[in-house]
Chain A
Amino acid sequence: MADLLTHFVAARVPGSLVRDRRLQALLVIGTFLPDITGKGIYWVLDNPTGSQLVTHSLAGILLISYLASLFVEEPLRRSGFLMLAAGMAIHVLVDMTKDNLGAGAAMLFLPFSLRGQEFGLIDPENVVLLVPIDLAILAVLWFLERRFQRVQQ
């Protein structure tokens, strides 16, 4: 798994275009969900085989974001579901940049296909070295958002 700061930045950048701050929060929370639920199933249900892969598959994205959206109040639920699903999809895309030796960083079509997918761009353990870049992107984003808010006022 890539660190959650990288996932956070990957979701927070497009999230800056979402005007409703509650939906923006759901987009970011969505990007945390694949790892949180994967680890939860792994540790709580003691299911070491494939739990992380299911939460990083299309079926997992749809089911987990739908389940999570049920806890959002009714008027916001549909858009909340879309935000959670988009956040989870962004997470999987970021994970797919990793080079897992061709075995696949994700199995998108579980449980129907075990074929792994990856872009193979970066050593999985080196993702954590992106932290300074993540922080720089966050700083630029914070600066731009503050400036945009001042212009609006």
Chain B
Amino acid sequence: MFSDRGWLLKAAAALGLLAVVLTVSRRRIAVEYPRIEQMAFYNDSFRDRRVLLWGYQVRALEAAGFQIDSAVGPMHVLWTQPVAVGDYVTVVARPAGHRTVEALRLQVNEGFAWKRPLNYLISVLVLIGYLWLVRRRFRWRIQDGVLRGKY
């Protein structure tokens, strides 16, 4: 399993298996957790599903909840607790009708607008910085393996 014999075959098999896992998972997740955009074409098959909304900005308040943007236009989220226009929210919701979901659990993500970019900035810097620091532990002739035997 870890020898050089049949290297290409092993790599192809692992890659193929990963593709299968990705495809099957993607299909199952798409059914169980429909995207908010699909609520534009609501039907009864969505009734018991869950819609996960991460980092959506509240665009407008409504009598029974609030409004968010999606790729196919505004969507309505039913929610009784107070939120403010401009808040970023993470929501676990269930489909409730045409362009409408009912929030079951909701979290206001305070500082989302700066915490998220900061997260990505730190991550990129750490990745580049670490690879730079350990660059001498690697060789760049892939056919010989990526790690140096001695350094």
Contacts and interface: CB of A to CB of B under 8 A. Distances in A.
B24 interface: yes
Nearest to A63: B18
A123 B109 CA distance: 8
Interface of B: 2-4, 7, 10-11, 14-15, 17-18, 21-22, 24-26, 28-30, 32-33, 35, 50, 52, 90-92, 105-107, 109-112, 115-116, 118-119, 122-124, 126-127, 130, 134, 137-138, 142, 144-149, 151
A50 interface: yes
Nearest to B91: A101
B21 A111 contact: yes
A111 B25 contact: yes
Closest 7 CB pairs of A and B: A73-B145, A4-B123, A111-B24, A50-B29, A111-B25, A77-B2, A101-B105
B52 to A, nearest CB: 6
Contacts of B92: 101-103
A53 to B, nearest CB: 7
